[in-house]
Amino acid sequence: MKKNLFRKMLVFSLIFVFSTYFIPLAQVWSAQSCQEYDIPMRDGVKLYTRVFLPDPDIWGPGPYPTIVVTTPYGVGGYGGRGKCSAALPNLQASNGYAYVYQDTRGRYLSEGVWTRVNDGQDGYDTIQWVAKQPWCNGKIGMGGLSAMGITTYMTAGERPPQLVAIAPSIASANSIQNFSFEGGALEYETTLAWRASNVYNGLSQSHYDSLGLTPEELAAAKTEMAMVYADVMGNLPNPLVSPSWMRLPLYNFPGISKLLPQWNDVLLHPSSLDPLYAPFNVQDKIKVPGLHMGGWYDMFSRGTLEAYKKIDKKGGQQKLVMTNLTHLQFAYTFPYWIYYFKWFEYWLKGIDNGIMDEPPIYYYRMGVNKWAYADAWPLPDVEEKIYYLHSDGSLSPKHPQTKETPLSYNYDPKNPLLTLGGRNLYYSSGPADQSPMEPPNRDDVLVYTSEVLKNDVEISGNVKVILHASSNCRDTDFVAKLIDVYPDGKKILVLDGVIRARYRDSLKKEKLLHPGQVYEFVIDLGDTSQVFKAGHRIQIDISSSNFPRRDRNTNTGHALYVIDTADDALIATNTIYHDKLRPSFVVLPVVNPKTRVFSGQAKIKTPSLNYEGPAELHTLAKGVYLRLINLDNRWLKWEIEKDLDTRFVDYFKCEGKLGKLSVWVHAEGCEPYFALAWGKGILFEGSPAIDP
């Protein structure tokens, strides 16, 4: 039911977007052609593929630029093999691209075994095949959402020479570390629910044949899998009553481990840095231009940012769009196709549509619900500020006293703290109120709250919580949440993170605790952009569970996932310290409220451009940008060559397509406060933008 709903909602949203922004669909769909192929990979395995070609009366006879997408969700679901003409009309072909849509190895109508390990090599081989076809002009792009985005990254890591650009969304170029594990803990909700859904649906006959099961054993495994799937998806609202969600150990999980042996392989290699996962970590290998899109509450938020920053550092030509959405909200509602096609229009069709003159980062500032531009992440005006956790439950910049009382709580794996919101897939996700999981409802969480804020506090960047803590057990978890407390008492989750104690020093090597000894634990909560409004409070919650987002630590110190049952689990007494020598604190990337956007009038008279009218001047970290309001919001870019800051003036000397530009920003606090930019045939005068 969930998959059918997803497809209906996705189709509806796509129809809406394209009927609004692109060529009327009725004009082009009827003339599209659809062809079926079984494309051989290097090991002889054949992958089922559909190719959609544009209407030649509109886009010409070809050859065409080509977009490739590989999916585990079923190309052949639209009518099955031999019924290509019954397939849903294709939106890429409607915009003048040949579109290659393929079932992942081991899924639906493709041969082979589904492990995802081969996705990069299969993508490479597919692109080689596509490049030889008469309908392809040799310029190939690749993109897609979620699993399709992961395959895009993995293929780009193989560096096929014909791959010109990529556009992955809500995905990761290091997917095990950003999908299966975080801080040494298993991302249980996504790992179990996603695999349960996709093992129940869509495994190919070739995959079943590879398992070596008798017909009776296979039938029994499928029956087990059906029961697990129904239990997992049916008990999402309350996992505590679910035999599947509450199962221990996770090894040899009914149904899943028999139909997908990779399940046990993952559990036997619980370090996300294990060499087994090398094929999934490709972010250091990618050199192709990329458009990366994600959401602050997406489960791949960390991976989207990592991919953008690492690939951009190597070669540039990267774009980043970060929304405020969850994984499924992004897939269902965000008009990512607008950015997607503008990106491929530039890189595959060679149309200079201005996208590379825009600031490369477009991000959503939560709390004020506004979009902003940047050309560096973290932002240049970020200052890391420390707020200390105090024994009286306060959170403040004041350093703790020599003697502050430690606080303890008991964590019982049989009664874990339930997940409310955050970066999840199917389970409760997004900005949820945390009050039900705090005192007086729970006594296994510590709460630290700031005074009421007198002014807005904006954070944009990475948040870390550093704890000095001890436990009476040899292993346990520490979970931290960053919360926005509203004047009416709502406590809205912004970020959360975890560290599994045995991985406190390194994700490569385990080190168990000595009971009672105090250690330092660093909890990486990830990145966000959030404005805590005046009148609100900033809060940090500390606990030892967040279930089912993350698996429960049984506190025993035994090998993870393979031994402990519920009867083996221990109650851990965990203690947080607050004194001068053993402080606990949060590091917040607080943004300096320096004005970066100015509204005014621009006069431009050059051989290539003539404009007079309203404009915005953006003075960012690496460049200065003019946005011409009455010219379809066209962007002009100048790279900063010299940044000469003085007490009274910020002075930039820049170089761009329209020549040299000098920019003079009168310093804040000096009256009048204004910006002036001038060059040959160029003049801008403006004041701080009220609502940039």
The pLDDT of residue 82 is: 86
- Per-residue three-class SS string for 286-342: CCCCEEEEEEEECCCHHHHHHHHHHHHHHHCCEEEEEEEEEHHHHHHHCCHHHHHHH
The pLDDT of residue 532 is: 98
Shared-domain flag, residues 147 and 218:
no
Using one digit for the tens of pLDDT, what is the confidence trace for 160-204? 999 999 999 999 999 888 888 999 999 999 999 999 999 999 999
DSSP for 558-583, written as a single string: SPTTTS--GGG---EEEEE--SSSS-
- Per-residue three-class SS string for 22-91: CCCHHHHHCCCEEEEEEEECCCCCEEEEEEEECCHHHHCCCCEEEEEEEECCCHHHCCCCCCHHHCCCCH
Using one digit for the tens of pLDDT, what is the confidence trace for 55-102? 999 999 999 999 999 999 999 766 688 888 766 668 899 999 999 999
Distances (CA, A) of 338 to 20, 449, 576, 619, 641: 10, 41, 48, 26, 32
- Say if residues 185 and 551 touch (Cβ distance below 8 Å): yes
Considering Cα of 543, then 546, then 550, then 553, what sign does the dihedral take?
Answer: positive
Residue 245 to residue 252: CA distance in whole angstroms: 14
Shared-domain flag, residues 489 and 526:
yes
Q: What is the mean pLDDT of residues 458-463?
A: 97
In this structure, the strands spanning 136-145 and 163-169 are: parallel
Shared-domain flag, residues 439 and 574:
yes
Virtual CA dihedral for 381, 382, 388, 393, nearest 10 degrees?
A: 90
Omega within 30 of 0 (cis) for the link into 672: yes
Shared-domain flag, residues 344 and 387:
no
Per-residue pLDDT at 25 exceeds 70: no
Q: How does residue 690 score in pLDDT terms, banded at 50, 70 and 90? A: confident
Shared-domain flag, residues 568 and 650:
no
Shared-domain flag, residues 314 and 462:
no
In sequence order, the 6+-apart residues with CB closer than 8 A to the CB of 472 are: 515, 516, 572, 573, 574
Task: Report the range of poorest mean pLDDT among 414-418, 488-492, 639-643.
Answer: 639-643
Residue 66 to residue 68: CA distance in whole angstroms: 7
At 415 the three-state DSSP class reads: coil
Residue 87 to residue 79: CA distance in whole angstroms: 6
Residue 266 to residue 119: CA distance in whole angstroms: 17
Q: How does residue 24 score in pLDDT terms, banded at 50, 70 and 90? A: very low
Of 591, 624, 644, which closes a domain? 591
At 521 the three-state DSSP class reads: strand
Residue 612 to residue 606: CA distance in whole angstroms: 12
User: What's the CATH code of the domain at 199?
Assistant: 1.10.3020
Q: How does residue 315 score in pLDDT terms, banded at 50, 70 and 90? A: confident
Average pLDDT in the chain: 92
Using one digit for the tens of pLDDT, what is the confidence trace for 397-446? 999 988 899 999 999 999 999 999 999 998 889 999 999 999 999 999 99
Tell which residue, 450, 557, 459, 575, has the closest CA to residue 510: 557
Which residue type sits at 110?
Answer: S
Residue 338 to residue 341: CA distance in whole angstroms: 6
Considering Cα of 620, then 621, then 623, then 624, what sign does the dihedral take?
Answer: positive
Q: What is the mean pLDDT of residues 477-501?
A: 98
Per-residue pLDDT at 637 exceeds 90: yes
Distances (CA, A) of 453 to 393, 458, 531: 16, 11, 11
532 φ/ψ sector (left φ>0, alpha ψ -120 to 50, else beta) = beta
Range of the domain at 636: 597-688
The pLDDT of residue 88 is: 64
Which residue type sits at 226?
Answer: A
Distances (CA, A) of 367 to 20, 345, 415, 483, 536: 29, 34, 33, 12, 10
Q: What percent of the chain is modeled with pLDDT above 70?
A: 93
Q: How does residue 159 score in pLDDT terms, banded at 50, 70 and 90? A: very high
Using one digit for the tens of pLDDT, what is the confidence trace for 574-604? 999 999 999 999 999 999 888 889 999 999 9
For the record, the structure tokens of 573 come out as 């007494």
In sequence order, the 6+-apart residues with CB closer than 8 A to the CB of 364 are: 296, 322, 323, 324, 370, 371, 372, 529
In sequence order, the 6+-apart residues with CB closer than 8 A to the CB of 506 are: none
Tell which residue, 506, 622, 526, 574, has the closest CA to residue 305: 526
Shared-domain flag, residues 113 and 172:
yes
Shared-domain flag, residues 86 and 30:
yes
- Say if residues 382 and 511 touch (Cβ distance below 8 Å): no
What is the helix (H) or strand (E) element at residue 137, kind and residue range? Answer: strand 136-145
The pLDDT of residue 691 is: 66
For the record, the structure tokens of 191 come out as 């790992």
DSSP 261: T
The pLDDT of residue 555 is: 98
In sequence order, the 6+-apart residues with CB closer than 8 A to the CB of 475 are: 500, 501, 502, 512, 513, 553, 555, 556, 557
- Say if residues 207 and 9 touch (Cβ distance below 8 Å): no
The pLDDT of residue 78 is: 64
Q: Report pTM.
A: 0.93
Helices (H) and strands (E) in the chain, counts: 15, 31
Per-residue pLDDT at 116 exceeds 60: yes
Shared-domain flag, residues 529 and 631:
no
Tell which residue, 87, 95, 105, has the closest CA to residue 51: 87
Q: What percent of the chain is modeled with pLDDT above 90?
A: 83
568 φ/ψ sector (left φ>0, alpha ψ -120 to 50, else beta) = alpha
Number of domains in the chain: 4
Of 356, 374, 392, which closes a domain? 374
In this structure, the strands spanning 659-666 and 675-679 are: antiparallel
The pLDDT of residue 21 is: 35
Residue 226 to residue 256: CA distance in whole angstroms: 10
For the record, the structure tokens of 154 come out as 């993995």
Of 548, 567, 591, which closes a domain? 591
What is the helix (H) or strand (E) element at residue 9, kind and residue range? Answer: helix 2-21
User: What's the CATH code of the domain at 327?
Assistant: 3.40.50.1820
- Say if residues 655 and 633 touch (Cβ distance below 8 Å): no
Tell which residue, 15, 40, 37, has the closest CA to residue 26: 15
Distances (CA, A) of 417 to 234, 544, 545: 20, 8, 5
Residue 308 to residue 192: CA distance in whole angstroms: 28
Shared-domain flag, residues 494 and 587:
yes
Shared-domain flag, residues 428 and 304:
no
For the record, the structure tokens of 251 come out as 């090894």
CB atoms near residue 64 (< 10 Å): 23
Per-residue pLDDT at 677 exceeds 60: yes
Q: Which residues pair with 325 in a beta bridge?
A: none
Q: What is the mean pLDDT of residues 628-635?
A: 96
Residue 246 to residue 188: CA distance in whole angstroms: 11
For 602-637, give one letter per residue: b (16+ CB within 10 A) or e. Answer: bebeeeeeebeeebbbbbbbebbbbbbeebeebbbb
Phi and psi at residue 215, in whole multiples of 5°? -55, -40
Per-residue pLDDT at 11 exceeds 60: no
Shared-domain flag, residues 133 and 72:
yes
Q: How does residue 3 score in pLDDT terms, banded at 50, 70 and 90? A: very low
